[in-house]
Structure 1
Amino acid sequence: MHMIQVVFMTVMVFFVIVTIHEWGHFYFAKRAGILVREFAIGFGPKLFSIKRGETRYTLRLVPAGGFVRMAGEDPELVEVQTGQTVAVRVKDGVVTRIYLDRLDERSNVVRGEVETIDIERKLKLALNADGVIESFDIHPQALMISKGKETQIAPLDRQFGSKTVGQRALAIVAGPVMNFILAFALFAAYFQMAGVPMENPDKLLIGDIVAGMPASKADIKVGDVIDSINGIKIGADSEKMIGIISKSVNVPLTFTVIRDGKPLTSKITPKKDPDTGVGKLGISAAIPSRPVSFGETFTYAGKAMKNMTILIFGGFKKILIGDFKMDDLGGPLRTAQVTSQIAEQGFTQLTSWVAVLSLYLGIFNLLPVPALDGSRLLFLGLEAVRGRPVDPNRESMVHFIGFAMLMLLMLAVTYNDILRLVRGEH
């Protein structure tokens, strides 16, 4: 695959799995009537921003996730104080815009001191304009303008915290659930494209070729049928193939494959493996596959989900008990590196890898770690049990600390990724 294509596919992998996750939050928040202020992919400075309807869609610099910012989740508006001078634009007796600065530059507005204002419950505003008290209704989608920035007001019934526990939980859990749905769909697509290994194969195929190893310099390709080595037929016996190669360190082998029905022979010399001392060519054998039926597609996709989930939790367990090294951890750079390597193998293998990443993202976000979806669900569970919410300030502090710790971990693994790249490790 061409390098530009590889880079494009790598970027698209990140974009797809994060976007589908955030879309889950976005869709169910909107269904609950919550005002979604921003739908962001990435963190940090904005690279691209466009507003459609009530929501601003942004692409940010740091490709380490994304977020959906809902009204009421954090301080959003500059407070309007009694006695403060503002200007309002009125249409049909209803305030549509509230200007907090540069008042002399505003045209077609009513200017005055605020007597009373309620932008959450009653949506009412009273202004003292040259000694005359004027009362206005405030439009539920009115905009507040300050320092060149427009912010839509959020009446109480449009805020995240005003919704039922069930509605809020659904808006939160929908992100990981969308990742699970995507993972299942991609696993199903993978099995439709790749099939499954035959039960009683009569031959072996070249499954993978390692770059830089002896086989990568020979005229063999992934998918070739492995016919013979030094005239010895291999058939479906992978152990026989491994045995011949292992015993032939620095001894040239006549390696014959079948491609498009024609035999092709190459001289390949196994390289000594520094860890085991046996000969290696840098190939792996694969069992021929067969197509899957429509029903089998769902069965195999479900099994793949189950097996990968077990492996993912096995990795989490090692981290919890400390059974890992720093080099075992990888961040966005290592993920991008592995993704690019898999993208070079073709669209079929990339589909399977994206399914794994989507499944991992969904599971990871459900962990009860502060700042993740799992932690937010835990707080909602406590609210359901107690009959009242946890102090928002305390909850926000927990999430803030958790987010800071995650960012520190991200910096650490990214630094580790950079060192690995500098050392030329994979």
Structure 2
Amino acid sequence: MNLLQSIAAALTPLGLLWTLLIIGAATFLHELAHFALARWQGVAVRSFSVGMGPVLFRRLWRGTEWRLSLLPIGGYVEIDGMAAEEGPGGTYRQPTRGFAALPTWGKVAVLLAGPLMNLVLAVGLMTLTFASQGVPAPDRARIEAVLPDSRARTLGLQAGDVITAVGGQDLPETYRVNGQPHAGWESVRDLLATSGRKVLTVERGGAAREVAFDWQARVDGVQQRLGIQYGPDVRPANVPTALVTSLQTTAEAVPQILRAFGGLFTRFLTLDLSRDENVSGPIGTAEIVSRAAALSPWALVQVAILLNLSLAFFNLIPIPGLDGGRILLTLVGALRGRPLTLAQEQAINLTGFAFVMLLMVFVVVRDVSRFF
């Protein structure tokens, strides 16, 4: 099987379609937020493109040329006064109108609007999910599947059973292993790490019962398996509770996302092409979406949440060429009392843009390399 066949085997047409829709919606709303904050402050927006590259369709409406471009990877808005303007004799000069004439807070508002839109979208989708599906209950472990011909099957455990206590002790909200925090439901695995008499308190249909059994953790040096797949239970939640849980979940995700980006930059600088489960390129993303599409609509919503969170925080990284980099240059200009010169700004932005492009190429190459 050649490379293209290997990639095609990992993807599905429906997965590719959903990938384009999810990324397209996230990008469109990101750029729409930039557009809205610029227009709200009276700044003209020359063009708004969905997609990149050659323009397939264009239409002028209310002073903005709306475009549909060939490559379904991102989009852009051309805001008046953000790029250099042409002067006499074909020279270029620092713009003085539109975006350039806005106060510092106005510029930051335009630049910050895109990432904030993705963040709001992620929190909104999380709130919808929690309000519809319930919020995680870290002190309860729900059995999602019981493997055939397993010890769990002979004990009468079933999918949907909820483990509430181990050895007569209620599961904790959180506990620590080697100093690292874990949700209480994960402590069930520690029960099976040692041999002896085990007792699980299990709820089924609102009634509790105890499941007691003798357990041998290892047989001939091989770790034994009870034969269950499990995760946190959920509790019904109203919209305010779902919103609070969404905000807490987002705050908890920030360090993980930043560590993932930090790992990506380290791998890029050292040209490490080994696989990293925390960051996916376009092929890896399409593969994840393909798997999610085969599971349920809620699985696709989870992917959309992760993608919007990643897009929000990635764009806030202070690298020239990204929104975070532009915000940094704006703040530096405000602190200096005057903006950077055109030559300085162009050199910094060009360097940042080149870095981001090389990073994208690295991610794609690493994405493809795992098929070899």
TM-score (norm 1): 0.62
1:330 aligns with 2:280: yes
CA-based RMSD of the aligned residues comes to 3.9
Match of 1:65, SS state, is strand
1:190 touches 1:349 (CA, 8 Å); kept in 2?
no
Structure 1 residues 342 and 202, CA gap change in structure 2 (3 angstroms): closer
Matches within 5 A, 1:405-416: 405-416=355-366
Alignment partner, residue 49 of structure 2:
40
CA distance in 2, matches of 1:403, 1:384: 23
Q: How far did residue 335 of structure 1 move?
A: 1.8
Alignment partner, residue 167 of structure 1:
106
CA distance in 1, matches of 2:20, 2:264: 28
Matches within 5 A, 1:310-349: 310-319=255-264, 325-326=272-273, 327-328=275-276, 329-349=279-299
Structure 1 residues 55 and 230, CA gap change in structure 2 (3 angstroms): same
CA distance in 2, matches of 1:408, 1:371: 12
Structure 1 residues 376 and 200, CA gap change in structure 2 (3 angstroms): closer
Matches within 5 A, 1:14-413: 14-74=23-83, 157=97, 159-198=98-137, 201=140, 204-206=143-145, 228-233=152-157, 236=163, 284-319=229-264, 325-326=272-273, 327-328=275-276, 329-413=279-363
Alignment partner, residue 170 of structure 2:
none
Match of 2:283, SS state, is helix
Q: How far did residue 280 of structure 1 move?
A: 7.6
CA distance in 2, matches of 1:351, 1:194: 12
Q: How far did residue 232 of structure 1 move?
A: 4.9
Q: How far did residue 241 of structure 1 move?
A: 8.7
1:179 touches 1:358 (CA, 8 Å); kept in 2?
yes
2:127 touches 2:242 (CA, 8 Å); kept in 1?
yes
Segments of 5+ residues of structure 1 without an aligned counterpart are: 82-154, 208-214, 219-225, 248-257, 260-275
The percentage of counterpart residues that share the same residue type is 27
Which structure has the highest helix share of the two? 2
Structure 1 residues 281 and 56, CA gap change in structure 2 (3 angstroms): farther
Q: Deviations over 1:350-394 (max 9, x none)?
A: 222212211111111111101011111111111211111110232
Match of 1:330, SS state, is coil
Residue correspondences, number: 306
CA distance in 2, matches of 1:12, 1:50: 22
CA distance in 2, matches of 1:278, 1:46: 59
Match of 1:57, SS state, is strand
Structure 1 residues 395 and 240, CA gap change in structure 2 (3 angstroms): closer
The letter of the residue matching 1:193 is S
1:194 touches 1:348 (CA, 8 Å); kept in 2?
no
CA distance in 2, matches of 1:47, 1:177: 29
Q: Deviations over 1:134-155 (max 9, x none)?
A: xxxxxxxxxxxxxxxxxxxxx9
**Which protein, 1 or 2, shows the higher relative CO under an 8 Å CA cutoff with sep ≥ 6?**
2
> If you compute each CA radius of gyration, which structure gives the higher value, 1 or 2?
1
Structure 1 residues 317 and 415, CA gap change in structure 2 (3 angstroms): closer
Alignment partner, residue 213 of structure 2:
none
